[in-house]
Structure 1
Amino acid sequence: MQKKVITIKDIARMLGISKSTVSRALAGRTDIHPETKKKVIELAAQLQYEPNTLAINLKQQRTNTIGVIVPETINRFFARAVGGIQKQAEMAGMNVMICQSNESYISEKKNIQSLVSSRVDGIIVSISTETDRSDHFTALTEKGIPLVFFDRVFEDVEASQVVTNNYEVAMEGTEHLIGQGCQRIAFVAGPEHLQNSRGRLSGYLDALRKHNLQIKDSYIVHAYYGSDKVEEYTRYLLNLPQRPDAIFAINDYAAIEMMHMMKKTGLRIPHDVAVLGFNNENLCRFTEPSLSSIDHPAHDIGVSAAEILINHIRHQDMKPEKRVVKSKLVIRESTQIK
C-alpha cells in the first residue's frame, strides 16, 4: 500500500489552525506565537512531512535548476569546470542540466532552446569555436534569463563573465621562453574571433616587443582548440627556413603530440625546440620530458560562474559582474634549457 503523503492541510486540520499559519511556522516566520510554531514543527517531524518542492518552485516561478553549456564534456578543462559548477549549485540546493555544443554554433543554439523550454532559472555557457554571433544570447538577456559566460565569452552581450588573465599569463610564458635564450618563438593561437584567444596572442606579441624580438607572421598559427590538424601545423613550423627554437602550444594535448613528432625527427626537447603547453593537465608531469604549462584553474572558474549565476537568480536587479580567476605558469623540463 502506498504511503499517504502528508500535506500542510493535514497538519492544519490536526492542530485546528489555518494552513497559512502552518506554512508560516514551517518557513520560520516570527509573526506567529512561539508555542504554535513549536507544535507545528513537532507534528511535522512526527508525521515525516516533506515539503512539495515542485509546488513551491512553481509558486516562486522557479525550477531550482541551472543550465550549463560546454563545448566538450570529454575535455578535462570543461569537466573540471562543470565539477566546480555542480559543487556550488549543490551547496545552494540547486540542480544542474548539462548540455554539450560539440564546438558547433547550431548545436549551441539548440542547447539554448532546450534549456529555455525546460524553464531553467539561469544559464552558464562557454561558447563554441564556431560561435561568432551573439543573437541567441542577447535573446536570453532580453527575456530576463540570467546568463554567465566563462572562459570563452562575448564582450558585446550584457552578461556576467568569469575569465582568466590570458594576456598576462601568455606574456609571462613567452618571457620565460625568452629568458631561456629562445629567439624564434612560435605561437599556436586559438580562433581569432574568441576573446580568450585574442588575449593570449596579445600577451605573446607584447612580450616579443618588450624584448625587441622580431614578430614574424609565419610563426603564428591559428587553430581550433579541438583541432585534428596538429600534425599539419607542426610539420609547417618545423619546415620553415628558420625553424622555431620554441613553441607555445594552444593546449597540452597539442603540445604533447608536437613533442612526439619532434622526437621522431631526432629533435631534442628543450635543447633544439622548447615546448610550452596550456591547461596543466595531470599527464604533463609524466611526459618525457615533463611538460611546462599554464595552469588554468578550471574548477575555481566553475565555482565562480555558479556563484555569480545563483546571485543573479536570487537578486534580479544585480548588475553584470566580471570576475578574473588567475592562471599561473608551471615550469617543468620541456622549457628548462639553462
Structure 2
Amino acid sequence: MRSGQVTIKDIAKELGISASTVSRALKDHPDISVKTKEAVNALAKAWHYKPNAVALSLRSSKSNVIGVIIPEIVHHFFSSVISGIEKIAHDGGYNVMIFQSDESYERELDNTQALLSSRVDGILVSMSKETKDYDHFRELRRNGIPIVFFDRICNELSSDNVIVDDFTGAFSAVQHLIDTGCKRIAHLSAPQHMLLGQNRLQGYRQALIKNKHKIDEDLIIKCDSFDEAKELVPLLLNLPERPDAIFAVNELTAAGALSVVKKAGLRVPEDISIIGFTDGIVSRVTDPALTTLEQHGHEVGLKATELLLERIKDRSMDYEPVTRVVKTSLVVRESTRYKE
C-alpha cells in the first residue's frame, strides 16, 4: 500500500497510462475502456486516493467551505448556533471552518484574513465585544465574499442579519419580575456600542415605564461576565436601598450575581430574584436554578446558514439585505418568585 497523499500522477505511473486517462477513468468518461476504468478505480481504492479539494476549488471557483467567526465556542448559545450551522451546511454539501475571536478585535481581524486566504465561499460572523472598526468586513465584501451576521451584528454595514429578539426578551424578563412583586430591578448590561446591549437595555427600560416604575440609573451597570458580577454586584447590594431583583444580560453574569447574593447571606428569590439570558447548562445547575430566556441558538444557526447559502448560490453582491428575527422564550425556574 502506498503511503502519503496519492495523486492522479501516482496512479498513472503505476498503471503505465497518462494522467489524463486516469482522470477521465475516475469520471467514468465513455471514451475510456471498461478494463482501464476497473484498473484505475481498483488502484485508487487500494491506495485510498482522494481528489485534491484545493485543485477542484480553483477550477470551479468554489471551495464548498463556509467560515464561521464566533466570540467563544464554550458558550452554550454559540455552541447551539454551531449545531444549526453544521446541519444546514452538511445538508447543502458544505464543510464548515470555525474560528474563535475570544472577544478580541485583533483575533477577529486575523480570523477574517485566514478565511479570505482559504477561499471560503461565505462567512457567518458574530462580532467580538472589542470590535468597533469594520474595515475587515468591508474587505471581505470587496472580495466578493457574502457575509451574514448573527446575534452580534454590524450596524454600520449594509448586511444580512439573523438576530434574537433581544428587546422583547428583555421586556418579558422584567415584566415577569414585576408580575412577581419586584419593585427595584437592577440591570447588569452589555457594552452599549453593541446593538444587542442596546436592545436588552431598552427592553428593560420599556417594561419599567409601562408598569410606571421609576428608572433608577444607579441600578443599571455595565457588567456582562461572571468575574465582573463578582466584582460589581456587591456595589448594588451596598446601596442605601438595595435592589430586590437583578436582570442579567447573560447566564454567566446571572450565575455570578447569584453567587454574590448568596455569599452576602441573602435568600434567592425571597430577598432578591435573579433572571438571566440564555438557557444553557449553567442555568440548570445553579442552586437555585436560574429563570432565564431561551435564545434558540440552533434556530439562529439554521436561519443564518440558509440565508448565506442563498447568497452563495445567487453569486451576486447586489442584493437588498434582510434581517431575520428569532423569538425568545421565558423559562421560569426557582431563582424568581411565583406570581402573586
Aligned partners of 2:22 and 2:72: how far apart in 1?
A: 49
Alignment partner of 1:324 is 2:299: no
Amino acid at match of 2:171: M
Partner of 2:282: 283
Shift of the alpha carbon at 1:231?
A: 1.4
| TM-score for the superposition, normalised by structure 2 | 0.85
Shift of the alpha carbon at 1:53?
A: 4.6
CA spacing shift, 1:45–1:61, aligned 2, 3 Å:
farther
Partner of 2:120: 120
| SS in structure 1 at match of 2:97 | strand
| SS in structure 1 at match of 2:324 | strand
Contact 1:141 1:159 in 2 (8 A): no
Partner of 2:218: 218
Partner of 1:187: 187
Aligned partners of 1:329 and 1:160: how far apart in 2?
A: 27
Alignment partner of 1:167 is 2:156: no
How do 1:1-338 and structure 2 match up within 5 A?
A: 2=2, 5=11, 9-10=21-22, 47=41, 53-223=53-223, 225-226=224-225, 228-317=227-316, 318-337=319-338, 338=340
Amino acid at match of 1:138: R
Shift of the alpha carbon at 1:220?
A: 0.4
Aligned partners of 2:56 and 2:39: how far apart in 1?
A: 19
Contact 1:141 1:158 in 2 (8 A): no
Cα deviations by residue, 1:265-314 (Å, 9 ceiling, x for unpaired): 22111111000011011232332222100111112211221221111111
Aligned partners of 2:127 and 2:180: how far apart in 1?
A: 35
Aligned partners of 2:240 and 2:52: how far apart in 1?
A: 71
Aligned partners of 2:39 and 2:311: how far apart in 1?
A: 33
Aligned partners of 1:118 and 1:251: how far apart in 2?
A: 33
Shift of the alpha carbon at 1:120?
A: 1.2
Shift of the alpha carbon at 1:179?
A: 0.5
Cα deviations by residue, 1:85-126 (Å, 9 ceiling, x for unpaired): 122211112111111111111111111111111111111111
Aligned partners of 2:278 and 2:327: how far apart in 1?
A: 12
Amino acid at match of 1:276: I
CA spacing shift, 1:8–1:86, aligned 2, 3 Å:
farther
Amino acid at match of 2:331: V
Q: Unaligned stretches of 5+ in structure 1?
A: 15-21, 27-35
| SS in structure 2 at match of 1:67 | strand
Range that drifts further, 201-210 or 303-312 = 303-312
Shift of the alpha carbon at 1:176?
A: 0.7
Aligned length: 317
Contact 2:53 2:63 in 1 (8 A): no
Structure 1 runs of 4+ off > 3 angstroms?
1-12, 43-56
Shift of the alpha carbon at 1:153?
A: 0.3
Aligned partners of 2:73 and 2:286: how far apart in 1?
A: 24
Aligned partners of 2:225 and 2:262: how far apart in 1?
A: 23
| SS in structure 2 at match of 1:279 | coil
- Identity over the aligned pairs, expressed in percent? 40
Aligned partners of 1:99 and 1:217: how far apart in 2?
A: 37
| TM-score for the superposition, normalised by structure 1 | 0.85
CA spacing shift, 1:227–1:137, aligned 2, 3 Å:
farther
CA spacing shift, 1:248–1:116, aligned 2, 3 Å:
same
CA spacing shift, 1:286–1:101, aligned 2, 3 Å:
closer
Range that drifts further, 53-62 or 152-161 = 53-62
Contact 1:11 1:44 in 2 (8 A): no
Aligned partners of 1:151 and 1:268: how far apart in 2?
A: 33
Amino acid at match of 2:133: R
| SS in structure 2 at match of 1:148 | strand
Aligned partners of 2:314 and 2:152: how far apart in 1?
A: 25
Aligned partners of 2:52 and 2:283: how far apart in 1?
A: 49
Amino acid at match of 1:290: A
